[in-house]
């Protein structure tokens, strides 16, 4: 492991479900700003918050957050990886 950044795919997973940051924040029980800062890699969520976000998206936590960058999508599109 070279870097100590936490990568995430929060934005593409959230938007694929038609959720705004405010919608996801309400489901998780945090502010929209918290979701925004996690999504943009400014704030590293606690384990509890990461688990709540993943559950609200219906995904395992490792599908949302990872220590290594997420691979590019097969169609060549952006993977949504944020560090």
Q: Under CATH, which architecture does the 7-65 domain have?
A: Orthogonal Bundle (1.10)
The angle subtended at Cα 72 by Cα 9 and Cα 77, nearest 5°, is 85
Domain boundaries, the chain: 7-65
User: 49-61, pLDDT tens digit by residue?
Assistant: 999 999 999 999 9
The rounded distance, in Å, linking the Cα atoms of 37 and 43 is: 5
Give the start-end residues of each E strand in the chain: 7-8, 65-66
Q: Would the pLDDT of 25 be above 70?
A: yes
pTM above threshold 0.75: yes
**Percent of the residues in the chain that have a pLDDT greater than 70, as a whole number:** 81
User: 28-44, pLDDT tens digit by residue?
Assistant: 999 999 999 999 999 99
The rounded distance, in Å, linking the Cα atoms of 66 and 6 is: 6
């Amino acid at each position: 492991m070279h870097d100590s950044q936490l990568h995430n795919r929060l934005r593409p997973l959230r938007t694929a479900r038609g959720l705004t940051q405010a919608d996801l924040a309400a489901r998780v029980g945090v502010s929209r700003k918290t979701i925004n800062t996690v999504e943009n890699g400014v704030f590293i969520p606690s384990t509890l918050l990461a688990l709540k976000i993943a559950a609200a998206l219906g995904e395992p936590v490792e599908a949302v957050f990872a220590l290594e960058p997420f691979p590019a999508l097969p169609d060549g599109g952006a993977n949504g990886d944020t560090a």
